[in-house]
Amino acid sequence: MAEARPRTLRCEGVRVARRRPGGPERLVLDAVDVAFELGAVSLITGPTGAGKSTLLQVLGGLLRPTEGAVFDGDRPVSRWVAAHRDRWRREVGMATQDPRLLDDLSALENVILPLVPRGVGVDEARERARAALRSVGSAALAPARAAALSGGERQRVALARALVVAPRWLLVDEPTAHQDATATDVVLAALARARGAGAGVVVTGHDPRLIDADLADARFTLTDGHLERA
């Protein structure tokens, strides 16, 4: 019998401190204890600067906590050496506020990129990338150079890039911030489909359209580095 895969991504005592040159240490995250579930959408709200983006970076293995640890099930992924952590990150899809697209590539090519280290063949990669763009209402953007895209378009392409790997954990920062009403509905539907496919979706935002949507299975608030269940 195959071993059951872990169903929670959790923080235990996660603390992130930063110090600017010549300035005092500032706590960005303070003793965060939380567990996120597969097959559920967890919404984190809070004011700008509360630490939402930092928390997603910690969850996604992009930032090591100053104290505490992140566990995927019982695996202390934040404590692993970089090579092991990078392999684990192949199970994670992430769309940050800064889409970080490669401007000289097309939207389609940007979405294909995370499939390259996964050894996906060219034809399959193109098919999956086109499907991911369709899922966020951006099929027509496939041939467009990333440099020519608007902020909202870049954001949707970045979401498609996160979805194309069929992630176990989907981490999305402010996904509706630059979207009109129609695009917002499309983005919310894409997140719901990811949940339906079994992914654990962790999404941040303070857009009322996101907060008021019938999407979240669990809600949290982050204020001054402290996370609480809403």
Q: What is the CATH number of the domain that holds 113?
A: 3.40.50.300
Asked whether the predicted pLDDT for residue 5 surpasses 70, the reply is no
Q: How far apart are CA 58 and CA 132, in angstroms?
A: 25
Is 211 a domain residue? yes
Tens digits of residue pLDDT in 101-142: 999 999 999 999 999 999 999 999 999 999 999 999 999 999
| H helix and E strand count, the chain | 7, 9
What domain range is 41 assigned to? 8-229
pLDDT at 2: 45
Domain count, the chain: 1
Element (H, E) at 78: none
pLDDT tens digits, one per residue of 64-83: 999 999 999 999 999 999 99
| Cα–Cα dist 43/201, whole Å | 8
**pTM value surpassing 0.85:** yes
Q: Is residue 67 part of a domain?
A: yes
Helix (H, G, I), strand (E, B) or coil at 180: coil
Going by the DSSP 8-state scheme, the letter that residue 188 receives in this structure is H
